[in-house]
Amino acid sequence: MHLFLTEPADEPILCDELKRTFVGAETELLAPGLLRTDVQLQSATPPVLAFARQLLPNAEPVNAVSIREWSERLFEAVASRLPESQPWRLHLAAHYGGEGAGGNRVRFIREAFREQLRKRRRQLLRLLEQAETPFHETTSLVQLWLTAPDTGFLSVAPAPTPWQLRRCVWPFVKGELPVASDKAAPSRAFAKLVEAEQRLGLRIAAEETCVDLGACPGSWSYVALNRGARVIAVDRSPLREDLMANPRLTFHQGDAFKFGPEIPVDWLLCDVIAAPERSVELVLEWVRQRRCRRFIVTIKFKGQGDYGKLEPLKHALPPLCKEFFLTRLCANKNEACVAGILPESPPAQPNS
């Protein structure tokens, strides 16, 4: 069985998305936000699930009464199922009670488990990575989530599974990232761009050129300018004064949907408030015409029920992108965010 995590109360949205993705998918709610399904996950066509925060592939229920027993369970699984010569990561989490519940238990289990590795499998301990960077083809992932002090689920995903399923298995524990804050930014929208970069595993860099559509009041441009990039900002309203005065920013007053760069740019950033189908169409157009090398675009929703409008992105973008994700950010749970990196040269057209 596979377990998918979503925001509590959003289980029906994820159920619908699973049914759109896997025809006839049966789901069972195991704990708040935690859905079980037995669908076949194909590594050749890994699923894209915007409303899944995290996936535990091939999870199995586990029980243990003491810290020592939990550590033993983990040790047995890791020692028998992980390759001895490749990096791996461990996500240990509690999924019960309120915020912070189970935190101590998880910490003690981690310490006991590391101690066992130190005594019995030093090589595996050396290969244990603390990183939150995107998975490589050689990275394995072990996830143990406690749903009560004495029960939980264990998922062991040897390499290359985490990499193959990277559109819904995240390198962050429970798929979560803390929301960044910067009081000097013009608005809290700043946190969305920072999170999207972390999820993509790539940041806007000095000397790059960004088009920022729907840029006002200017948080996304602010991030790009602070990194030393040049920005072409497009909005109906001007950005904050200091940003407008920045020599690396060019402002175009007008309709974001009518704007096209003279030459391809490094980044398309787009946070326009528009109907979801318009934003979906915009990103597809920019990517198909290779107007940008990378993109981060938000898709806003007015009410529930519109989420099927994301489906064209899931089908069209993976073959056009080297990396790609479609998810709901922790920094804004009312919208989806699609981001990607295009290959250096366009993918070959199939012979017709």
Ligand X SMILES: C[S@@+](CC[C@H](N)C(=O)[O-])C[C@H]1O[C@@H](n2cnc3c(N)ncnc32)[C@H](O)[C@@H]1O
Give the three-state DSSP class for 319: helix
Minimum Å gap between C-beta 215 and ligand X is 6
Q: Between 33 and 186, whose beta carbon lies closer to ligand X? A: 186
Q: Which stretch binds ligand X (CB under 6 A): 21-29, 140-148, 150-158, 210-218?
A: 210-218
Per-residue binding letters, 139-168, with ligand X (x by CB under 6 A)? ------------------------------
Answer yes or no whether residue 134 interacts with ligand X by CB under 6 A: no
Residue 20: CB partners within 8 Å, gap ≥ 6?
A: 308, 311
Answer yes or no whether residue 337 interacts with ligand X by CB under 6 A: no
Tokens of 318: 């993976």
Q: Which stretch binds ligand X (CB under 6 A): 17-25, 26-34, 63-71, 213-221?
A: 213-221
d(CA 255, CA 269): 15
Q: Kindly list the strands in the beta sheet with 59-63, ordered across the sheet, starting from the edge strand earlier in the chain.
A: 59-63, 151-157, 140-148, 88-94, 128-129
Q: Which is it for the CA torsion 127, 106, 39, 45, positive or negative?
A: negative
Q: How many residues bind ligand X (CB under 6 A)?
A: 21
d(CA 153, CA 172): 17
Q: Between 220 and 307, whose beta carbon lies closer to ligand X? A: 220
Minimum Å gap between C-beta 20 and ligand X is 27
Answer yes or no whether residue 183 interacts with ligand X by CB under 6 A: no
Question: Of residues 152, 162, 175, 186, which one binds ligand X by CB under 6 A?
Answer: 186
Tell which positions 243-262 bind ligand X, by CB under 6 A: 255-257
For the chain, the distance separating the N- and C-terminal CA atoms, rounded to the nearest angstrom, is 39
Q: Between 172 and 257, whose beta carbon lies closer to ligand X? A: 257
d(CA 230, CA 241): 17
Q: Which stretch binds ligand X (CB under 6 A): 126-134, 137-145, 233-241, 314-322?
A: 233-241
For 308, 320, 345, 346, the CA distances from 349, given in Å and listed in that order, are 27, 11, 12, 9
CB of 218 closer than 8 Å to CB of 224:
no
Q: What is the DSSP track for 179-200?
A: PP--TTSSSTTHHHHHHHHHHH
Minimum Å gap between C-beta 251 and ligand X is 11
Answer yes or no whether residue 195 interacts with ligand X by CB under 6 A: no
Answer yes or no whether residue 197 interacts with ligand X by CB under 6 A: no
Answer yes or no whether residue 216 interacts with ligand X by CB under 6 A: yes
Answer yes or no whether residue 232 interacts with ligand X by CB under 6 A: no
Query: Please, what's the b/e burial string for 209-247 (b: 16 or more CB within 10 A of its CB; e: otherwise)?
Result: bbbbbbbbbbbbbbbbbeeebbbbbbbeeebbeebeebe
Residue 268, Ramachandran bin (φ over 0: left; ψ between -120 and 50: alpha; else beta): beta
Tell which positions 262-281 bind ligand X, by CB under 6 A: 271-274
Minimum Å gap between C-beta 239 and ligand X is 7
For 3, 92, 106, 129, the CA distances from 145, given in Å and listed in that order, are 11, 6, 9, 18
Q: Between 217 and 264, whose beta carbon lies closer to ligand X? A: 217
Could you say which DSSP state residue 351 is in? P
Minimum Å gap between C-beta 321 and ligand X is 22
Answer yes or no whether residue 215 interacts with ligand X by CB under 6 A: yes
Answer yes or no whether residue 237 interacts with ligand X by CB under 6 A: yes
Q: Between 93 and 284, whose beta carbon lies closer to ligand X? A: 284
Minimum Å gap between C-beta 31 and ligand X is 34
Q: Between 82 and 215, whose beta carbon lies closer to ligand X? A: 215
Residues of this chain that bind ligand X (CB under 6 A) = 186-187, 189, 214-220, 234-237, 255-257, 271-274
